[in-house]
Structure 1
Amino acid sequence: MTRIVFLDRGTIGPSVRLTGPAAPHELVLYERTSPGEVIERLAGAEIAITNKVPLRRETLERLPELRFITVAATGYDVIDVETCRARGVTVSNVRGYAVNTVPEHTIALMLALRRGLPGYRQDVLNGEWARSGQFCFFTHPINDLAGSRLGIIGEGSIGQAVARLAQAFGMETMFAAHKGVDGLGPLYTPFDEVLERADVITLHAPLTPRTRDTLAMPEFRRMKRRPIIINTARGGLVNEADAVAALETGLISGLGFDVLTTEPPAADNPIQRVASRPDVILTPHVAWASAEAQEAVWKQVVDSIDAYLAGEPVRVL
């Protein structure tokens, strides 16, 4: 009987019923797994399911029976794919499940920050409306999305979906050419031009050595319109210390982050330090997590296991 171990079941909401594959199997669930527990828990397992638990070379080399890893996410930076390839371990991920949930979360962050909603909500709770003596008051900037320019870094399915929603709000959208790359064609606006013209910049790219620190202080200094920066993709795409410095010195006008380099954040994370500001929204990596999207993730995980056991693996990395 095939032994399947899910190392971090807690990354899928409790409302999702975890059905198993069609073939005879033993499915073992762990709410969370620390690095020191991985080898013991995967001992004897042919299939591992992970969302954020890393599987690196030194771990993989001690798991001779492991033959298949299915990542319950699109990003697979937690997996040493090269070592898996060398050891004959097939790796699969899930794709396309987030084309509604992440774009909607992205637009929600844009709307909230452009309209000053976090600040106004806090002011109302603090009694400012009652003390104002009139029907409204103006303590935070309010700007429309309509007529503003959106720079999108990442032209995949999620970036494209964000563009469609933004255009429905009347935004002008620009897909940034890859940093340091010219001649990509008419879809793209030169990277530096996006930095200079955008009122909002949103990131929808994978985290790789090439994309790490896509936005850091050199880029923030080129931003002429003090844009809002949205990151619902991967922590590390934006240098967090530089982003906070840019916010505090007026180079940008807001941060909407759903992802951080280290999750959960350490106490000294610079974004955490400014999270209570009215021009900052920090959400706990839940842009992907609508009820519909979570169901779709698990269905793809099970489908990938069924396909592997049938000898025809899908979405192979």
Structure 2
Amino acid sequence: MKIVLLDGYHLNRDLNWDAVRALGECTFYDRTQPDDNQQILARIGDAEIVITHKTPIQDSVISQVPNLKYIGVMGTGYDAVDIASAKQHQVTVTTVPNYSTDAVAQYAISLLLEVTGQVGLHNQVVHDGKWATIADFTFWEKPLIELKGKTIGMIGYGRIAQQVAKIAHAFAMNVIFYNHRPKNVTDDWAHQVSFDELLQQADIISLHVPQTPETINLINQASIAKMKDGVIVINTARGTLIDESAMAAALNEDKVLALATDVVATEPIDPQNPLLTAKNCFITPHIAWAPLETRERLLDIITENIQAFIAGKPINQVN
């Protein structure tokens, strides 16, 4: 069984792939050019199993590699793979669900705490010497915000969103959520509302939906206009959920108090991305999933997925 890993740098750098190596003849690449179909095709070659993180595997690739039987996506989202083409060519596609739930929820709250507590800013100005030069025992560069009593609105209410909601509830926040399908929840403190009601009621909006044709630019000029003035938006899902030009304008006009996002529409970030020069925009380089413990769990499940496929009993299959 030939196994090819197209873009494993973020796991190759410090994790042990021996359990996967034991399953077949392995060729591992740190990176593959995502826009170079010829390189992707050449690297897949006659392999039966391909593992990808962000390298796209579209119909133009799948249709030209007849030996391919399995695509393992190293993550929960599978927008990099043409699922319809994979089904047509009888290629099994699996993902790694739930490996990062706690880490991403932790990170979403970290982004919120950075906006409301301004820890990074005040640490920096103290180290720059400002505190040593003032007459008072305290000072603050920007207003600080208490979370108790604020309403957080979750767009999407899967496992990560539910974990964020539990943490928010522990901060004595009010929790509302919108989900495209009605959710049965047992927590009496979490209230399901319509999309427009969420936009109108939430002091903080946290995004937790996958990228689909329906969710691209879900947060746009029209939806922003329905939000409260001074809303905080948190995004640990996909950058394409937000119309970045509309969001930059809303930040600069103080309609949105702050955006804290771990993702952008094009990654790595385009130097011309309007969010880079917008006011009160906090951007980190897609790292919510990246704690060591989380990546170790990811690799364990990748291995289990391949083992199950080889045994003829695939798990975590999406097609």
**TM-score, length-normalised on structure 2?**
0.92
Match of 2:10 in 1: 11
CA deviation string 1:200-232 (max 9, x = no partner): 110011000011111111111111241111000
Match of 2:266 in 1: 262
Match of 2:162 in 1: 160
Match of 2:32 in 1: 33
Q: Verify: 1:308 aligned to 2:312, yes or no.
A: no
Quick one: distance in 1 between partners of 2:61 and 2:21? 29
| 1:18 CA drift (Å) | 1.5
Quick one: distance in 2 between partners of 1:76 and 1:194? 27
Query: Is the Cα–Cα contact under 8 Å of residues 230 and 256 in structure 1 kept in the other structure?
Result: yes
Question: Superposition RMSD on alpha carbons, in Å?
Answer: 1.8
Supply the AA of the counterpart residue of 1:4.
I
Quick one: distance in 2 between partners of 1:273 and 1:219? 22
Quick one: distance in 2 between partners of 1:306 and 1:23? 10
> SS at 2:51's partner residue?
strand
| 1:73 CA drift (Å) | 0.3
> SS at 1:266's partner residue?
coil
Quick one: distance in 2 between partners of 1:77 and 1:24? 26
Q: Verify: 1:223 aligned to 2:227, yes or no.
A: yes
Match of 2:249 in 1: 245
> SS at 2:154's partner residue?
strand
Quick one: distance in 2 between partners of 1:211 and 1:247? 21
How many pairs align? 310
> SS at 2:123's partner residue?
helix
Query: Is the Cα–Cα contact under 8 Å of residues 20 and 27 in structure 1 kept in the other structure?
Result: no
Quick one: distance in 2 between partners of 1:256 and 1:20? 37
Quick one: distance in 2 between partners of 1:68 and 1:24? 14
> SS at 1:20's partner residue?
helix
Match of 1:208 in 2: 212
Q: Unaligned regions of 5+ residues in structure 1, if any?
A: none
Quick one: distance in 2 between partners of 1:93 and 1:245? 36
CA deviation string 1:62-83 (max 9, x = no partner): 1111110000000000000000
Supply the AA of the counterpart residue of 1:290.
P
Return 123-132 or 249-258, whichever deviates more. 123-132
CA deviation string 1:166-190 (max 9, x = no partner): 1111111111243xx8x77785212
Q: Structure 2 residue aligned with 1:94, among 93, 96, 105?
A: 96
CA deviation string 1:82-132 (max 9, x = no partner): 000000100000001111100000001101101222332333244332332
| 1:273 CA drift (Å) | 2.8
Return 26-35 or 217-226, whichever deviates more. 217-226
Q: Structure 2 residue aligned with 1:117, among 112, 116, 119?
A: 119
Identity of aligned residues (%): 35
Structure 1 segments of 4+ aligned residues over 6 angstroms from their partners: 183-186
Quick one: distance in 1 between partners of 2:117 and 2:199? 22
Quick one: distance in 1 between partners of 2:48 and 2:292? 29
Query: Is the Cα–Cα contact under 8 Å of residues 149 and 172 in structure 2 kept in the other structure?
Result: yes
Quick one: distance in 2 between partners of 1:222 and 1:233? 21
The 5 Å alignment of 1:98-177 reads 98-177=100-179
Quick one: distance in 2 between partners of 1:199 and 1:113? 13
Supply the AA of the counterpart residue of 1:281.
F
| 1:61 CA drift (Å) | 1.2
> SS at 2:152's partner residue?
strand
Return 84-93 or 144-153, whichever deviates more. 144-153
> SS at 1:253's partner residue?
strand
Supply the AA of the counterpart residue of 2:27.
V
